[in-house]
Amino acid sequence: MHLDFPVFGLVFSGGGARGAYEIGVAQYLASQNWVPSAYAGASIGALNAVFLAGAPSFQEGVHRLEEVWRTLKIQDIVKMNHQMVVLGLVHAAVKRGIVLHPGLAVYDEAFNLLASKIKVMKDVKNISQLITEHPLLSKLQQGLLDNQFLRRLLEEQLGIHDMENASPIWVSAYPSKGMTRDIVDYLLAGSGIRDTNESHYLQLNEIRKEERLSAILASAAIPGVYSRQTVNGQPYVDGGVGGAVHSRGNTPLTPLVLAGYTHCVVVNLSDGSMFNRHEFKNTTIIEVRPEQTLHRNGLLPSLFDFRPERIQSLISQGYADAKRCIGESLTALSLVRGGRAAAQLKEDRLLELKNDGFDDAMKLLD
Amino acid sequence: MSIHEREYNAEEQEIRRLVQSIPILQDKMIVDLVNGIQVTQDHIRVSQDRITGLGSRIVDAVTGKSALRQQRIDQNLNEGLRSTMIWLENLQASQIQTDRALAYVTEKLSETRQGIMKLVDKHVALKNEVRQLTEQMHGLEEQFTQQSEQIRNQLTSIDMRQSALIQMNQEFDKWAGGGYASFSPLLQMFLVLEALSWGPFGVYDAVNPEFREQLNYKCAVLLKDVRGIPMRNLPTDKWMLSLVKERAAHKEMLRFLLQDDAELLASLPLQSTMLKVVDLEEHSAESMRSILTQVNVPLVFESKRLSQRLLMESRIRLHRRGLHAS
């Protein structure tokens, strides 16, 4: 516990594979024994936050989270560039369309035939598979099909059945208006024409056990790529879609502020995030932002780059940036507090000096 | 209150008013300043990256991202500068308070030093007074000791004098009352003088012979009035021979009193003569004259003179024996 930051909330933004960066931040906090009292997360940030909030201790949670990330097994990607990821996304959307319209299956078969002959088409297919089979989410999706795995993951690692006793945790999810509308709204916000609506902030501790997993999946459900998830009868998609212009949904500080947390650490997962700290007038916010780019190969590829070496690099980067951003802020606070304490000590000693009766005693010499 | 003090108090009030008017430096302002710089650095870095490509410049311009990012930078800088201003104001106020506290402490230190100087002066003066008092005390002590000694000596002297006078009166009363009646008259006087020499009278007489003359006269008067012995022309052989007739025990007593070594007896002619007379076997004037021719003793005494001689020789004898300090 830090004297100037005794109780604080931790906000994890969404950012796909860049979520490994948040492990580094958590590792730094754990190394200083600064334990968050509440969590909020969007998308991958929501998953990370759930691991930490449900763990027996913060240190244990950080350890488990790192282990989960390090055991992700992905295919070796040949070309992970912007164009290939866009093509992969298109392919994934088509595949998703096939699920809704089985008549289009003939196109998929044709694509598979081309992919077996042309290397570029094979790479697009691989990327599409990686996108649709988000390594972390796929673990959960596999769990849906495998009762034994699901039970172990939920009970032992996520502790999702015991959220009543976990730290308060919110995940952001965007109330879906349908896949097409969601995508159009997001594109309009990205074009600066019209911002999306605010995401909803679902407190996992207070929703029904059987809907908690849906809420977590909803927070990371990229529109057009993953299925919508229904919680309390409301369909939801990725929380990062809401308030897109100012990253309010993707960096969900709002629920912590509304819950009364006046001190928060906010972890941004993109270069030059538009999250605006000045919207929260009464909250002391320490933002952890990257000193070096997080989008080394472009914004989209970085979302799906789960290679072990990249994960390790992001963890280290997160740790260093947390040390820089949090450390410098708390050092400044400690200095000011020390100055105030010294000033008070000075005042106390002056008062003692004024009232020590020395003047009266000196008059006795006259 | 002096004009200077009034001016100082007015200045103090003005500074207090200024300090109170400064906004409190909140933790949020500090964090917004320090962390705001890091946020701004992030935006500036992205801006620099985006500005290099024509496509990204156009996209950012069209979507308004570049303007929004610039607005974030401006807002951070503005808030940061505002925090800096408040921080500086607080620091300045703190410095003013510290400087004034330092001035106050310096003033107090100066007063304390002056007080210590005053204390040193007082101490030195007190030390001198104590030294003088000590010297006076020593003088008084010495004076008191001397006076005390003097008074004690006086008291001792008075006591001795009183004892001497009392003993003299007692001995003469005893003599006059017939206390020595069994002895011959002149031996009675010898015994009285011997008792006085041995007693308090002898002690006092060694220090102050004021009663010696009186004693001699008293002896002469008593011999004449009570024993009928004339004051003048008292033949030595006549009163000496009366010793021969003394009883044997009296003679033995006389020998015990007078017997001494030869050297001493040589300086006591009268008493050595008395010893010789006591040893005579018969009352013979011839033998008496024979003895008197051998010693330096006057043939005729006045009774007063005789008492003087007997007392003097008695004192010499006692002194030789270390019994009296003259």
| Span A159-186, average pLDDT | 85
Closest CA relative to residue A42, chosen from A220, A203, A217 = A220
Angle CA(B218)–CA(B220)–CA(B221) in degrees, nearest 5? 65
- The CA dihedral of A83, A87, A93, A95, to the nearest 10 degrees, is -150
pLDDT on residue A87: 66
B27 in contact with chain A, both atoms CB, cutoff 8 A: yes
| Residues A130-154 as b or e (16 or more Cβ within 10 Å = b) | bbbebbbbebbbebeeeeeebeebb
Rounded (10°) CA dihedral B270, B273, B278, B282: -130
B89: contact with A, CB 8 A cutoff? no
In this prediction, residue A137 carries a pLDDT of 58
Q: Classify strands A284-288 and A229-231 as parallel, antiparallel or unpaired.
A: unpaired
Say how far residue A72 (Cα) sits from the centre of its chain: 18
- Chain A nearest-CA distance from B135, in A, is 26
Nearest to B288 by CA among B272, B273, B301: B273
Residue B97, classified by CB atoms within 10 Å of its CB into exposed (0-12), middle (13-18) or buried (19+), is middle
- Rounded Cα–Cα distance for residues A189 and A184 (Å): 9
Distance between CA B203 and CA B213 in Å, rounded? Answer: 16
Told to judge if A43 belongs to the known catalytic residues of this protein, a careful annotator would answer yes
Distance of CA A202 to the CA centre of its chain: 14
Segment B280-301, tens digit of pLDDT: 877 777 888 888 888 888 888 8
The CATH superfamily of A9-78+145-331 is Cytosolic phospholipase A2 catalytic domain (3.40.1090.10)
**Residue pLDDT, tens place only, B112-138:** 898 889 889 999 999 999 999 999 999
Show the tokens assigned to A71: 């055991």
Residue B18 scores a pLDDT above 80: yes
- What's the pLDDT tens digit per position in B200-258? 999 898 888 999 999 999 998 988 887 788 888 888 888 888 888 888 899 889 888 88
Query: What residues does each domain of chain A span?
Result: 9-78+145-331, 82-141, 334-364
Instruction: Return the pLDDT at A78.
Output: 42
Tell the residue number behind the tokens 């369909």, with chain if given.
A235
Environment class of residue B46 by beta-carbon count within 10 Å: exposed (0-12), middle (13-18) or buried (19+)? buried
Give the per-residue SS3 of B233-278. Answer: CEEHHHHHHCCCCCCHHHHHHHHHHHCCCHHHHHCCHHHHHHHHHH
Residue pLDDT, tens place only, A254-286: 999 999 999 999 999 999 999 999 999 999 999
pLDDT at residue A24, rounded to an integer:
97
Residue A77 has pLDDT above 60, yes or no: no
DSSP labels for B94-129? HHHHHHHHHHHHHHHHHHHHHHHHHHHHHHHHHHHH
Res. A112: pLDDT tops 80: no
pLDDT in tens, A56-69: 899 999 998 898 88
- Ranked by mean pLDDT, the top range of A212-216, B35-39, B54-58, B292-296 is B35-39
From chain A, the residues in CB contact with B45 under 8 A are 271-272, 293
Q: If contacts are CB pairs under 8 Å, which of residues 100-129 in chain B contact chain A?
A: 101, 104-105, 108, 111-112, 115, 118-119, 122
CA distance B39 to chain A (A): 7
The partner residue sitting opposite A272, judged by closest CB among B38, B46, B112, is B46
Give me the pLDDT at residue A80, please.
56
Q: With an 8 Å Cβ cutoff, are A329 and B41 in contact?
A: no
Length of chain B: 326
Q: Which residues of A touch B31 (CB under 8 A)?
A: 284-286, 329, 332-333
Our CA-based measurement puts residue A210 at a distance from the nearest CA of chain B, in whole angstroms, of 39
Backbone angles phi, psi at A24, to 5 degrees: -60, -40
Label residue A147 by pLDDT band (50, 70, 90). Answer: very low
Q: Is A346's CB within 8 Å of B72's CB?
A: no
Output the CA angle A26-A30-A35, nearest 5 degrees: 90
Active-site residue, A238 included: yes
Tell me the count of A-B CB pairs closer than 8 A.
Answer: 107
Q: Is A217 helix (H, G, I), strand (E, B) or coil?
A: helix
Average model confidence (pLDDT) across chain A: 83
Residue B36 contacts A, CB cutoff 8 Å: yes
Rounded to 5 degrees, φ, ψ at B155 are: -60, -40
Across-strand partners of B114?
none
pLDDT of residue A22: 97
Q: Which of B16, B38, B105 best probes binding to A when mutated, by most A CB atoms within 10 angstroms?
A: B38
- Where is A202: in which H helix or E strand? strand A200-203
Cα(A40)–Cα(A53) distance, integer angstroms: 10
Instruction: Count the residues in chain A.
Output: 366
A263: closest CA among A74, A35, A4?
A: A4
Q: Does A306 or B126 have the greater pLDDT score?
A: B126
Using a CB-CB distance cutoff of 8 angstroms, which residues of chain A are in contact with residue B74?
none
Residue A218's pLDDT is 84
% residues pLDDT > 90 (chain B): 40
